[in-house]
Amino acid sequence: MSTTSPKYITIKNRIKEDIENGKYTRKLPGERVLAKELNASYMTVRKAVSELVEDGNLHKLTTKGTFVSHRKMSPKVTRNIGFFLDKGIKQGVSSPYYSLVFKALEETVRKNGYTISLFTDFDDLNPLKHQKKIDGVIICCFPRIEDNVKDVKKYFPVVLLDNIAADKSIPSVTIDNFNSCYHSTEYLLSLGHKRIGFVTGLMDSDVCKDRLLGYKKAISTNGSQSDKSLIYKGDYSYESGEVAVDYFVSLSKPPTAIVCANDSMAIGAMKSIQEKGLRIPDDISIIGFDDIEVASKVFPTLTTNAAPIETMAEKAVMMLIDSINGKELDYEHKILPAQLIVRDSCTPLQ
C-alpha cells in the first residue's frame, strides 16, 4: 500500500527548492501570498514555514517578516568570501588603491576564520552554473554592473564597497567623498588660493561625482569664482594627472593649486609640474585622495585624504558575515570620513 507525504511536506520542499534556485533570496512573501502562489491552504503553508524556521532554514523577525537563513540553506558551507572587482578597473587589484583594499579585506577575513577569493567575471559567481565557491560576496559596485549585482544577490548575501547601488536595500560601506573634497578645497582656500583646479576620476560612479560636488560646493561657499575651465576630466590613472597639468598650464590664468580625485593622478601631476621647471608647492600646490603607500615617499610628500581602508574592510566583512549568519541588513549603509593628511605639497599663496 503506497503512502503519500502530507501536503505541508510537499510545500516545505517546494519552498526549499525555490530558495536554492534563487527565487527567494532574502525575505519571503507573506504566507497568504505564498498559499496563493503554491495553490495550497494558508494553514498548510503556515505549517511548512514553521517547520523550516524550526530547522533553521528560515528565521522570523518581529514586525518585519520571514527571511532566508543563508547558511542553513546552502548545500555546503565554504568559509570563503568573494571579492568582486570589475575587470574594467585599470590594473585591477594591482592598482595602488585596490591593492590596499584587497590586503585589508584579506587580513580581516583571515582573523574571522574565512578565506577570500577574487572574482572579475560575474559568471564565476553563479552557483547554478558552477560548483558553489563562496558563502557571500563583497562587490566594488559601479552603475554599469548593477544588473549583475542584482543577479548575484539572488544566490548570496552581498555587501557593496565604495558605491551605493540604485537598489538601496543592498547594504554598503562607503567614504564620505563629498565632505572630504570639500575640506581639501577649503584648506587650499584658507591658504589664499583662489584659482583651484580639479582633476576628476571616471564620472561613472557616485564616488567621483561626490568628490567633484564637494570641490564645487567649497568654491561657491567661500565666494570664489566658479570656472568650468578649472575642471579637467581624468580617469584615475597616473598618465591623466600628467595630461591634466599640460592642460592647466596652457590656460591664460593657470590655477595656483590642484585637487586630484586620487593619489595616482596627483603624483602624475607632480611629475609633469616638475618637468616643466615649476616648483611644488611654491608655484603650484597639490592635494590627492586615498593616501596610497607612495604618497608619503614622493618629493615633496603629498598632502592627501587618507581613505579609512582598514575600517572599511572590517565593517564590510563583519556586515557580510552577519548577513551570512542570517542577520537582516537591508538598507544598512555605513559612510566613513576620510582624514586630510597635511604634508609638504601645499603652501600659502605667495
Beta strands 285-290 and 231-233 are unpaired
Same domain, 103 and 223: no
> In this structure, are residues 71 and 19 in contact, taking their beta carbons and an 8 Å threshold?
no
Same domain, 188 and 288: yes
Same domain, 302 and 330: no
Same domain, 272 and 288: yes
- Give a yes or no: residue 231 inside a domain: yes
What pLDDT is attached to residue 74? 47
Same domain, 92 and 125: yes
- Give a yes or no: residue 349 inside a domain: no
Same domain, 140 and 45: no
The position carrying cell 530558495 is 19
Name the domain boundary from 70, 102, 119.
70
> In this structure, are residues 293 and 96 in contact, taking their beta carbons and an 8 Å threshold?
yes
Return the CATH number at 21. Answer: 1.10.10.10
- Give the residue among 11, 20, 70 at the shortest CA–CA distance from 46: 11
Cell numbers representing residue 166 in the block: 540604485
Cell numbers representing residue 180 in the block: 572630504
Name the strand (E) or helix (H) holding 43.
helix 42-55
Listed in sequence order, the residues at least 6 apart from 177 whose beta carbon sits closer than 8 Å to its beta carbon are 206, 207, 210, 211, 214, 338
- Give a yes or no: residue 324 inside a domain: yes
Question: Which structural domain, as residue segments, surrounds residue 43?
Answer: 7-70
- Give a yes or no: residue 300 inside a domain: yes
Same domain, 188 and 239: yes
- Give a yes or no: residue 346 inside a domain: no
What pLDDT is attached to residue 70? 62
Q: Taken in order 125, 127, 133, 138, is the CA torsion positive or negative?
A: positive
- Give the residue among 267, 203, 205 at the shortest CA–CA distance from 235: 203
- Give a yes or no: residue 158 inside a domain: yes
127/156 Cα distance (integer angstroms): 9
Same domain, 185 and 282: yes
> In this structure, are residues 286 and 301 in contact, taking their beta carbons and an 8 Å threshold?
no
- Give the residue among 229, 226, 175 at the shortest CA–CA distance from 205: 175
270/343 Cα distance (integer angstroms): 14
What pLDDT is attached to residue 46? 93
What's the total number of domains in the chain? Answer: 3
> In this structure, are residues 155 and 125 in contact, taking their beta carbons and an 8 Å threshold?
yes
Beta strands 58-61 and 65-68 are antiparallel
- Give a yes or no: residue 148 inside a domain: yes
What pLDDT is attached to residue 4? 64
- Give the residue among 61, 27, 33 at the shortest CA–CA distance from 169: 27
Same domain, 215 and 247: yes
The CA dihedral of 175, 205, 25, 18, to the nearest 10 degrees, is -160
Cell numbers representing residue 167 in the block: 537598489
- Give a yes or no: residue 345 inside a domain: no
Name the domain boundary from 268, 289, 306.
306
What pLDDT is attached to residue 142? 84
User: Tell me, what DSSP letter sits at residue 130?
Assistant: S
Digitized pLDDT (tens) for each residue of the chain, 350 residues in all? 445 678 889 999 999 888 888 788 778 889 999 999 999 999 999 999 998 988 878 888 767 788 887 654 444 578 999 999 988 787 889 999 999 999 999 999 999 999 999 999 988 887 766 667 899 999 998 888 998 998 888 788 999 999 898 888 899 999 999 999 999 999 999 999 999 999 999 888 899 999 999 999 999 998 776 799 999 999 999 999 999 999 999 999 999 999 999 999 999 999 999 999 999 999 999 999 999 999 999 999 999 999 999 999 999 999 999 998 888 888 899 999 999 999 999 999 98
Spacing of C-alpha 280 from chain mean position: 33
Return the CATH number at 237. Answer: 3.40.50.2300
Same domain, 164 and 118: yes
List of E strands, the chain = 58-61, 65-68, 80-84, 115-119, 136-140, 158-161, 172-175, 196-200, 231-233, 257-260, 285-290, 303-306, 333-336, 339-341
Same domain, 170 and 317: yes
Same domain, 265 and 330: no
